Structure 1
Amino acid sequence: MSTANRKYKDSVFVDLFAEDEKAKENFLSLYNALHGTNLQLFCPVENIRLDNVMYMNIINDVSCLVDGKIIVLAEHQSIINENMPLRFLQYTARLYEKLQAPTDRYLKKLSKIPTPEFYVFYNGTDDYPETATLKLSDAFITRPEQIPLELTVQVLNINTDKANKVLTACKPLEEYSLFVEEVRKQTQLDHENGFTNAVKICIEKGILKEYLTRKSREVINMLIAEYDYDTDIAVQRQESLMIGIKQGITQGLEQGSYQKAIETARLLKQFGDSIQKITQVTGLSELEVEAL
């Protein structure tokens, strides 16, 4: 659970549960909360994250090998992506390639692999249930009686107003959720200084106090990177929407002009005008006029 130099940016969520010097302690607290276990700090935990796979520039996943399992965690602060099961499937296939020797798949004897588990933690502002399950099979075009391939993702709403029991059982996750809520509140009050204010207030309230005191500047930089990424995505979506609207208007105008030309050609043809004259007046081809 160590930090390495990377070309991409970690999120605060990832830093807390995968990269910080106390990440192993935080991760085991979360694992125990999810499984009702009591794994101690001496338990082996291997960080097996893939570089820049789940997202583009912000890596928001935690992938660890522990207790014979691959635990993949992801955070969403925007609307839940219902394609997460497919993305997790692709992600996990690459993890298995990383964990296994290339020759293992060709052995006659069964090659054992760690059991995968997938979790998404939602702390966005949209109304979302306390828990939900996303299934890969929901995306299948046809659904046979016996599904040949399945992958389930447990979605946990960690907003504090949902009182999800995992928050009670995992103090680092509860404090992280409170931190996100404070960041959201302060950035709405003061767009320019919101991140800094949120960090100061959380330290004063004892929310992630040790972590934020030790890494306040790094945390602010991570928040800025996350904000810039989310803003960039929002701008791209808005641009796509505007392009779609413009294309629709243009297409509508073109269709309207064409329909008008057809109606004009039909009238001229009824009046007995020549096909050559009709094509000159309307801009239609001879074949189009003859087809009327």
Structure 2
Amino acid sequence: MPKHNRRYKDSVFVDLFGEDKNAKSNFLSLYNALHGTNFDTSTELEQLSLEQVMYMAFRNDVAYLIDGKIIALTEHQSTINANMPLRFLQYAARLYECIQNPRDRYLKHLKKIPTPEFYVFYNGEEDYPEKSTLRLSDAFMTLPEKPALELVVSVTNINYNKGSKILHTCKLLKEYTLFVEAIRRHTKLDSENGFKNVIKECIQNDILREYLQRKSREVMNMLIAEYDYDIDIAVQRKEEREIALQEGIAQGEVKGFSEGAYQKAVETAKLMRAHNYPIAEICTMTGLSEAEVKQL
């Protein structure tokens, strides 16, 4: 299966809070909302990033060193992964390697390190509570009374209909949430022009207006790249369905999932055709036949 060459900036979330010219002030507004602080752009702030291929699972990550803390943020638009604490553990270890002198680990006196905090912002379409906590210890085969190693991830559902408090204290995150909702609405109505219509509507409604006016072309490219990620998820679901069939799961249980996955593949194929992807690549990514794709 061909792999997409995703860059670090393939996400609007990452660009807003990590890469854009206003990313520093954007991140500080989110940090202040999380911690009840009032830091401004004079605050000392250092961005941390890992761009190696093995960490592309964190393509939607933003990490900063601020106020003696490492703040790691990740956006999730698909199902929350229960293995996020383990992934964050591996990620954090690499971040510490980047910011520490290798010799420090051999010092006799205690070398202080930044305190890590891990946040996931969920804006997928599945039902999920407003707040939840994921713990590394939940994955342990045997759980001792006091785990020798723990990592805690705070998950916040930022879908607007969930009424999360942080949407009232961080204006930019609220606008981003409304932007994502507009994407879902418009791409379902018009797969060919949906992204363009989203940008137009949001500018008119003062949702990320300055950002979208300044970077509309780049945002279009990032949205397409993000949709490629959804294609990967659709393919994985197709493979899971085939495995389930091979293992002899009752046909009645498989039918509903199969129909849903097929409809997702059709929607994905339509969008890919609208953006002039080769038919062969569409077939590979969605599992549809050439005839099915040509009929769309």
CA distance in 1, matches of 2:133, 2:121: 12
Which residue in the other structure is 1:81 paired with?
81
Query: Deviation at 1:239?
Result: 2.7
TM-score by length of 1: 0.80
Q: How large is the Cα RMSD of the aligned pairs?
A: 1.6
Q: Kindly indicate whether the alpha-carbon contact (under 8 Å) linking 1:9 and 1:225 is maintained by their aligned counterparts in 2.
A: no
Query: Deviation at 1:60?
Result: 0.3
Query: Deviation at 1:9?
Result: 4.3
SS of the counterpart of 2:102? Answer: coil
Matched, 1:242 2:222: no
Q: Kindly indicate whether the alpha-carbon contact (under 8 Å) linking 1:10 and 1:59 is maintained by their aligned counterparts in 2.
A: yes
Moved over 6 A (4+): none
How big is each residue's C-alpha offset from its partner over 1:156-195, in whole Å with a ceiling of 9 and x where there is no partner?
A: 0101111111111111100000000000100010011111
CA distance in 2, matches of 1:68, 1:174: 27
Which residue in the other structure is 1:230 paired with?
230
CA distance in 1, matches of 2:229, 2:22: 26
CA distance in 1, matches of 2:159, 2:217: 25
Segments of structure 1 that go 5 or more residues without pairing to the other structure are 1-5, 250-292
CA distance in 2, matches of 1:8, 1:173: 20
Which residue in the other structure is 1:280 paired with?
none
Which residue in the other structure is 2:104 paired with?
104
- 1:47-196 equivalent positions in 2, closer than 5 A: 47-52=47-52, 53-56=54-57, 59-196=59-196
Q: Kindly indicate whether the alpha-carbon contact (under 8 Å) linking 1:70 and 1:115 is maintained by their aligned counterparts in 2.
A: yes
Q: Kindly indicate whether the alpha-carbon contact (under 8 Å) linking 1:202 and 1:208 is maintained by their aligned counterparts in 2.
A: yes
Query: Deviation at 1:243?
Result: 4.5
CA distance in 1, matches of 2:76, 2:141: 26
Which residue in the other structure is 1:263 paired with?
none
Q: Which amino acid aligns with 2:153?
A: V
TM-score by length of 2: 0.79
Q: Kindly indicate whether the alpha-carbon contact (under 8 Å) linking 1:79 and 1:124 is maintained by their aligned counterparts in 2.
A: yes
Q: Kindly indicate whether the alpha-carbon contact (under 8 Å) linking 2:75 and 2:120 is maintained by their aligned counterparts in 1.
A: yes
Query: Deviation at 1:241?
Result: 2.5
Query: Deviation at 1:247?
Result: 6.2
Q: Which amino acid aligns with 2:188?
A: Q
CA distance in 2, matches of 1:85, 1:108: 30
Number of residue pairs matched by the alignment: 243
Instruction: Select the structure of larger CA radius of gyration.
Output: 1
How big is each residue's C-alpha offset from its partner over 1:98-132, in whole Å with a ceiling of 9 and x where there is no partner?
A: 11111000000111100000000000111111100
Higher mean displacement: 162-171 or 45-54: 45-54
How big is each residue's C-alpha offset from its partner over 1:72-99, in whole Å with a ceiling of 9 and x where there is no partner?
A: 0000001100100000000001111111
Query: Deviation at 1:244?
Result: 4.8
Q: Which amino acid aligns with 1:125?
A: E
Task: Give identity over the alignment, percent.
Answer: 65
CA distance in 2, matches of 1:247, 1:38: 56
Q: Kindly indicate whether the alpha-carbon contact (under 8 Å) linking 2:9 and 2:15 is maintained by their aligned counterparts in 1.
A: no
Segments of structure 2 that go 5 or more residues without pairing to the other structure are 1-5, 250-296
Query: Deviation at 1:242?
Result: 1.4
CA distance in 1, matches of 2:199, 2:232: 24
Q: Kindly indicate whether the alpha-carbon contact (under 8 Å) linking 1:54 and 1:87 is maintained by their aligned counterparts in 2.
A: no
